[in-house]
Amino acid sequence: MATIKKFEDLEIWQEPRRLSNEIKEIVLNSELKNDFRLRDQIKGSSGSVMDNIAEGFVRDGNIEFRQFLSVAKGSAGESRSQLYRVLDYGDITGKKFEKLVNEYEQLSKRTANFIIYLNKQDFKGNKFRQTPKRNQLETRNKRNLKLTQWN
């Protein structure tokens, strides 16, 4: 597997970006543009999917990345739920609704599988790598702590 150096290279980030743009097109080309609350909610949740993947990736910690992927998966579910209201209000066709719901379901499955994959990795992340200076400082601090405990 190739090493991913930036979140933009992740397919799991590219897909919600595309979906977010589809949501924006629906907003611009339907009466949803006048339903300010639902419009802002669905635009926010669809954007939150890609944003959480990006934020988790750049934190350089595998544990945090998995947490942010979980939040992104939740936002995908939220977007899917909001699509039901958009359909019920007549702002999209049944065909477009089915397509988007299916794509969000697939994205959720891919996200869950990615979390499972990361759970199996021993690598904690770059932020947990210890530099020689940090190791020396921690050893010195532990030594000082032991000395002060007995004084």
pLDDT digits (tens, 9 = 90+) for 102-133: 999 999 999 999 999 999 987 666 665 665 56
Q: Helical H runs in 59-93? A: 62-88
Q: Is residue 142 in a domain?
A: no
Percent composition of the chain: helix, strand, coil (DSSP 3-state, to 5): 80, 0, 20
Q: Is residue 150 in a domain?
A: no
Residue range of the domain that includes 58:
7-125
Q: Is residue 75 in a domain?
A: yes
Q: Which DSSP letter does residue 50 get?
A: H
SS3 70: helix
Q: Is residue 77 in a domain?
A: yes
| Dihedral-angle region of residue 23 (phi above 0 means left; psi in -120 to 50 means alpha; beta otherwise) | alpha
* pTM of the shown model: 0.80
- Mean of all residue pLDDT scores within the chain: 88
CATH of the domain at 115: 1.20.1440.60
pLDDT at res. 138: 59
Q: Give the chain's domain count.
A: 1
- What pLDDT, in 10s, does the model give residues 28-66? 999 999 999 999 999 999 999 999 999 999 998 888 999
Q: Is residue 130 in a domain?
A: no
pLDDT at res. 151: 43
Q: Is residue 113 in a domain?
A: yes
pLDDT at res. 114: 95
Q: Is residue 151 in a domain?
A: no
